[in-house]
Amino acid sequence: MKLGMSYFGNRYKDCAKRHFRHMKEIGVSYIVFTFSENDLAFYEHTMHELFSLAHSMGMEVWADPWGMGGVFGGEAFSAALLASPDDWQVRSDGKSVPHACLNSRRFRNFVKLWIDSVVAGGTDYIFWDEPHWYIPGWDASAAKRLGMKAEDMDIKGLWACRCNNCQNLFFQRYGHPMPKEMTEEVSEFRQASAYDFLREMTEYGKVKGIKNAICFLPLDNKQIGIPDADSIASLDSVDVIGSDPYWYIFNRSVDDFVKPVTQRFIELGRKYSKEVHMWFQGYKVPAGRELEMEEAVKKIHELGVRNAAVWAYNGASHMSYLRSDDPEKVNRILEDIFKKFSKK
């Protein structure tokens, strides 16, 4: 089984060398490097050196636009949004929200600059991490984590994007103004815009010689995420598709979450001849439930997927926000899982 691990929070080469050696020993075949805007601005060559280090040890490199523009997953802030407030998404009530509009030309060009950098660094894959539109509830949670009041940040039923550019594009497509309600047409427009964004980005990377893997949020609510993975999975420029059904944080079980989401992506993978990869949760693991991690990988393997990854190295024990109740136990079990399943 091909196994991946995400890696972040350390940019010292000597430490990384130790960590990567350890990863190689337990059977990691690829490292998913978070490569945030902060990395692009301040650690660009360091990141390229870390890529080379992973390659020199025989592991693949996947680069993740972590938290970029507030439209990808990840615990990273976006400076691009501060530099370019005109490109923020506009919510259905008219308020601008700190997430780049997927239709913004400036944002698309910025993502291409990022692609240029990770390609120059030698990445094998770009890992498109949970691309999404504004998600009601997430901004309020982010503000609360900073101890800020957030009552007016997320109001149920609101959606984005209704910026001027999106309204114009909507008018061109449907011949009437964009409504303020989430209608079938609005949902279809958002889907088509996300498709177009990912098509342009994945094709840009593809011609430069990298492969594209997309991880979709495991949610099917029309208001959030990108509900229809189907059209995006059909893109020739997309090589790998998958999802991250993190059952602990969603208060679900392996059987009622990991299994159906994996089955859904297996079907999509078959339909479009794409490799499927599935993530399993190695952070925020509640005490006493650590062995469910192995159940999840077993389930993914039983269903026929041969590419799985964990978020994150060492169970993200260095990040207090993501740390498990018993990080040492989680890490021990993770190592056992990797040793065992890398031989399957």
Backbone angles phi, psi at 245, to 5 degrees: -75, 85
Q: Nearest-CA neighbor of 59 among 123, 128, 126?
A: 123
Tell me, what amino acid is at 86?
D
DSSP symbol at 285: P
Q: Find the shortest distance in angstroms from Cβ 90 to Zn ion.
A: 6
**Nearest CB to Zn ion, comparing residues 33 and 159:** 159
Tokens of 183: 């209608």
State the pairing for strand pair 275-281/125-129: unpaired
| Smallest distance, Zn ion to C-beta of residue 55, A | 38
Rounded-to-integer distance, Cα 312 and Cα 301, Å: 19
Contact segment (CB under 5 A) with Zn ion among 25-33, 103-111, 144-152, 175-183 equals: 103-111
103 or 314: whose CB is closer to Zn ion?
A: 103
Which of these segments, 79-87, 101-109, 132-140, 277-285, binds Zn ion (CB under 5 A)? 101-109
Is residue 35 within 8 Å of 63, Cβ to Cβ? yes
Stretch that binds Zn ion, among 30-38, 63-71, 94-102, 148-156 (CB under 5 A): 94-102
- Give the amino acid at 85: P
How many residues form the binding site for Zn ion (CB under 5 A)?
5
Interface of this chain with Zn ion, residues 250 to 309, rule: CB under 5 A: none
Decide whether 161 or 210 has the Cβ nearer to Zn ion.
Answer: 161
Indicate the burial class of 222 (C-beta count within 10 angstroms; 0-12, 13-18, 19 or more).
Answer: middle
Nearer to Zn ion, 84 or 253 (CB): 84
Kindly state whether residue 241 participates in binding Zn ion, applying the rule CB under 5 A.
no
Cα distance between residue 286 and residue 241, in whole Å: 28
Which residue do the tokens 């993530």 mark? 279
Nearest-approach distance from CB 273 to Zn ion, in angstroms = 33
What residues form DSSP beta bridges with 214? Answer: 128, 241
Q: Which is nearer to Zn ion, 136 or 245 (CB)?
A: 136
Question: Would you say 106 or 145 has its CB closer to Zn ion?
Answer: 106
Q: Which of 161, 229, 238, 337 binds Zn ion (CB under 5 A)?
A: 161
For Zn ion, which residue of 59, 101, 135, 333 counts as binding (CB under 5 A)?
Answer: 101
| 210 in contact with Zn ion (CB under 5 A) | no
Q: Which of 86, 76, 1 is nearest to 42 (CA)?
A: 76
Number of neighbouring beta carbons within 10 Å of residue 287:
10
Residues sharing a CB contact under 8 Å with residue 300, sequence separation 6 or more, in sequence order: 258, 262, 278, 280, 308
CB of 169 to Zn ion, least distance (A): 8
- Per-residue x/- track, 163-182, Zn ion (CB under 5 A): x--x----------------
Instruction: Tell me the closest approach of the beta carbon of residue 88 to Zn ion, in angstroms.
Output: 8
- Residue 103 or 317: the one with the smaller Cβ distance to Zn ion is 103
Using CB under 5 A as the criterion, which residues of the chain lie in contact with Zn ion when the complex forms? 101, 103, 161, 163, 166
